[in-house]
A = this chain, B = another copy of it.
Amino acid sequence: MQLSVGLLGLGTVGAQVAERLLAKRREIADRTGVELNLTRVLVRDLERPRGIPRALLTGRPEDILEDPAIQVVVEVMGGEEPARSYLERAIRAGKHVVTANKVVMAIHGPGLLELAGERDVDVYFEAAVGGGIPLISTFKVDLIANEIERIAAVINGTTNYMLGRMASAGISFDEAVAEAQAAGFAEADPSSDVDGFDAAYKLSILASIAFGARVHPDQVFREGIRAVDPLDFRYARELGYEIKLLAYAARTGGRIEARVHPAMIPAHHPLATVEGAFNAVQITGDLVGEVLLWGQGAGGRPTASAVVGDLLDVAHSVRKGAFNRIAMRFDADPPMLPMAEVTTKAYFRLRALDQPGVLAAVGTVFAEEGVSIASMIQKDSVEEGTAELVFTTHPALDAGLQRARSRIAQLEQVKQVCAFLRVV
């Protein structure tokens, strides 16, 4: 059985996909019964030397999108456009598509899947979230008998690497950015990672599939890690926590909650032990209980593992002439739980005048906002005549926590609310 493949893009992921298809064609065919023929590769610069035959390269998308011999289009260009339009053209031309594009799938995934259903072609996107970790198939197939209750994940390797360095080496956010850039983890403009956009795209894809509802990335509450201070890692350790960029989604009382923000996670929690550029996703289903999937969430080879896995799955369907085996359904406009109504624990660090009445004043604000204190630490501050106060709270409405935060900042005995973090 043969499958003719066109590849859009030859960057880090594309090069690994091409390499596997060309160098391991025979082994793959022997093992799976499927011969994957890489027919054409769209590149921007035809002249740049690469490890694959010059005759396969083209600069014209229509050489792939309009070639009737090509059965599957693999998109590994990244970015919203022109990737989205190319995928749509491929689907309209009756081709199956495999994509590693989290932006397109987060914003346009349900629409493309519906279009593919009309045209009776398949859309695969395992590589769009978590590199080679089997996440999409886990929701789509393995856990389908479950009602998914929640997803808690560390799904941005760059910020996880940075937070790990800040925790272990005591460096600042800016130093951590520079290190991550030097190590090749962060872009020149690190915003996509450090402001939580990347994690929000991935969470919107996972939540959409887990809950069968269109969760647009704009509906994901998003707060990045720029405000996390080296001092907070010391308190975290003292209190028994690690600080991670948490991606969390849950179905709560018929509404969907989806949020990305730095969080203190108990040191014994499986997500707290996810180190460096690794990703981990913890899924809670009503039958299966808790399942955790862990691995390299990015990089050419792990992502190629997912892309070629998807290609072989398409090939099995082509052999049997059976497409759209598993139709995914999405509520178009599911009710979302606004961040203000989310219930969470929190951590406050503030600098106050070292004088009587501070605790009473802060305690009164917390009480008035319905926030109950779980623990308190007071230390001398570096600044003469001030003290550093750290509070952790019991679960409270986020709206109450935010009001407490701004009211405490305005107390005359308080110089500054230095840090606010949510606690798992």
Contact = CB atoms under 8 A, between A and B. Distances in A.
A312 interface: yes
A325 B317 contact: yes
A134 B133 CA distance: 11
A212 B31 contact: yes
A399 to B, nearest CB: 32
A330 B241 CA distance: 47
A291 interface: yes
A44 interface: no
B134 A134 contact: yes
Contacts of A323: 320
A385 interface: no
A289 interface: yes
Interface in A312-367: 312-313, 316-317, 319-323, 325-327, 329
Contacts of A144: 31-32, 308-309, 312-313
A295 B291 contact: yes
B313 A288 contact: no
A138 B291 CA distance: 14
A312 B33 CA distance: 25
Contact of A141 (B285, B292, B295, B309): B309
Contact of A291 (B32, B137, B294, B299): B294
B320 A325 contact: yes
A312 B296 CA distance: 29
Interface string A120-136: 00000010000111100
A354 to B, nearest CB: 41
B289 A132 contact: yes
A325 B327 contact: no
Contacts of A231: none
B287 A16 contact: yes
Contacts of A299: 289
Residue from A132, A290, A296, A321 with most neighbouring chain B CB atoms (10 Å): A132
A288 B292 contact: no
A159 B325 CA distance: 40
B305 A287 contact: yes
B295 A289 contact: yes
Nearest to A212: B31
A259 interface: no
A299 B301 CA distance: 36
B322 A317 contact: yes
Interface in A86-123: none
A142 interface: yes
Contacts of A410: none
Contact of A329 (B31, B306, B308): B31
A227 interface: no
B287 A304 contact: yes
A336 to B, nearest CB: 19
A22 interface: no
A46 interface: no
B313 A145 contact: no
Given A133-B291, A295-B290, A320-B320, A308 B145 contact: yes
Given A137-B142, A141-B313, A142-B134, A305 B325 contact: no
Contact of A134 (B16, B28, B143): B143
A270 interface: yes
6 contacts: A16-B287, A126-B142, A132-B289, A141-B309, A287-B308, A289-B295
Given A287-B305, A289-B296, A291-B294, 20 more contacts: A16-B287, A31-B329, A132-B142, A134-B141, A137-B137, A144-B308, A144-B313, A145-B304, A145-B311, A145-B312, A288-B295, A288-B302, A288-B305, A288-B306, A289-B295, A289-B301, A316-B326, A319-B325, A320-B320, A322-B325
